[in-house]
């Protein structure tokens, strides 16, 4: 199983995306490999509230979402915990957007679409970074 | 903006997204005349484009094709295109194609700052959409999952 820490416990992931279908795709990509999806949120505000309760190892965060977008939510979470590992997922990855995300301490910018195996590799890479 | 210049990034993005997300080879796009009325195959997603240039991107397919794509994405079985997950899956595919294409356009022409608005999804047999700003040409791709049609309308914002 690739989605495990060295002590054998599962790498805990929170999936944030306004599309339940994309959240399902993330689960489908990660759960069979041993990762545990410990929480899901459909907008940035719910993500911050949920983060305080579950403290995942890694967050996958969509950018374009209603109520509060993913960049704003990621910035708020980084203020709460600068060490929190966050992967931004977005169909748009123009240079301005990627530069802004990096300047805010985002650990990885993953353009959509993603392949299931790539997603697992990225989560492991970010967990161990 | 030259209509061919506008269409090319969407053709490239469609090719790449169908290959990456669905492992589907798609044919070289065939240009199809539409006039000012877009004829739907039964399942149409419209994504708004806003910025210094604005307009719409249309992704169109049959309801059977929409069901097939959703099944590949989620691993679930669906018996109708009206299922919420099929609708959302279609919206996500259109969002990803248009996002990838707009990324290319924004990178090539910094300052345009084009962004996407949430997709709207329409289903129904025999739908036609009239828009005087519609691009006169759609591009039709053949895939193993069925025919996919795209249309892009972009004009300088007033």
Closest CB from B96, B113, B118 relative to A112: B96
Task: Please provide residue B37's backbone torsions phi and psi, each rounded to the nearest 5 degrees.
Answer: -125, 125
What is the residue whose two structure tokens read 């240039």?
B53
Q: Flag if B96 and A113 touch (Cβ within 8 Å).
A: yes
Which chain A residues are closer than 8 Å to B74 by Cβ?
Answer: 21, 24-25, 28
Q: Which of B24, B45, B92, B115 to mutate to test the interface with A (most CBs of A within 10 A)?
A: B92
Least confident of B34-43, B78-87, B130-139: B130-139
Closest CB from A21, A28, A66 relative to B88: A21
CB within 8 Å of A76: residues ≥ 6 apart: A44, A48
Judged by CB atoms within 8 Å, which residues 25-64 of B form the interface with A?
Answer: none
Q: Flag if B17 and A113 touch (Cβ within 8 Å).
A: yes
Residue, of B62 and B7, whose pLDDT is higher: B62
Report, as an integer, the average pLDDT of A116-126.
93
Q: Flag if A24 and B106 touch (Cβ within 8 Å).
A: no
Report, as an integer, the average pLDDT of A57-85.
95
What is the model's pLDDT at position B135? 65
Mean pLDDT of chain B: 89
Q: Is A128 on the interface with B (CB under 8 A)?
A: no
Residue, of A53 and B33, whose pLDDT is higher: A53
Bond prior to A63 in cis (omega within 30° of 0): no
DSSP string for residues in A66-102: SSS-HHHHHHHHHHH-TT-EEEEEES---HHHHHHHH
Q: Where along chain B do its domains lie?
A: 3-142
Which of the four pLDDT bands, split at 50, 70 and 90, describes residue B142?
very high
What is the model's pLDDT at position B4? 60
- Position B30 pLDDT exceeds 90: no
CATH, range B3-142: 3.40.1550.10
Decide: B53 and B1 in contact? Cβ < 8 Å: yes
What CA–CA distances, in Å, run from B66 to A43, A105, B43, B57, B146?
A: 26, 38, 7, 17, 9
Report, as an integer, the average pLDDT of B16-30.
89
Q: How far A43 CA lies from chain B's nearest CA (Å)?
A: 14
């Amino acid at each position: 199983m690739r989605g495990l820490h060295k002590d054998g416990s599962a790498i805990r992931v929170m999936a944030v995306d306004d599309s339940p279908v994309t959240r399902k795709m993330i689960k489908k990509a990660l759960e069979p490999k041993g990762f545990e999806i410990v929480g899901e949120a459909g907008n940035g505000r719910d993500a911050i509230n949920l983060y305080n309760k579950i403290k995942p190892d890694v967050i996958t965060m969509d950018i374009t979402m209603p109520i509060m977008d993913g960049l704003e939510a990621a910035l708020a979470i980084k203020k709460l915990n600068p060490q929190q590992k966050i992967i931004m997922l977005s169909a748009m990855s123009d240079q301005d957007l990627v530069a802004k995300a990096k300047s805010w301490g985002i650990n990885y910018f993953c353009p959509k679409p993603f392949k299931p195996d790539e997603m697992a590799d990225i989560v492991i890479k970010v967990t161990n970074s | 903006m030259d209509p061919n210049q506008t269409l090319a990034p969407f053709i490239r993005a469609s090719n790449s997204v169908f290959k990456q997300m669905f492992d589907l080879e798609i044919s070289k796009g065939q240009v199809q005349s539409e006039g000012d009325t877009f004829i739907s195959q039964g399942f149409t997603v419209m994504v708004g484009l806003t910025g210094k240039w604005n307009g719409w991107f249309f992704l169109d397919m049959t309801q059977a094709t929409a069901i097939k794509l959703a099944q590949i994405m989620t691993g679930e079985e669906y018996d109708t295109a009206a299922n919420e997950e099929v609708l959302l899956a279609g919206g996500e595919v259109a969002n990803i194609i248009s996002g990838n294409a707009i990324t290319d356009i924004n990178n090539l022409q910094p300052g345009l700052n084009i962004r996407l608005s949430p997709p709207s999804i329409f289903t129904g047999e025999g739908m036609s959409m009239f828009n005087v700003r519609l691009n006169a040409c759609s591009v039709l791709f053949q895939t193993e999952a069925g025919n996919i049609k795209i249309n892009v309308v972009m004009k300088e914002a007033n």
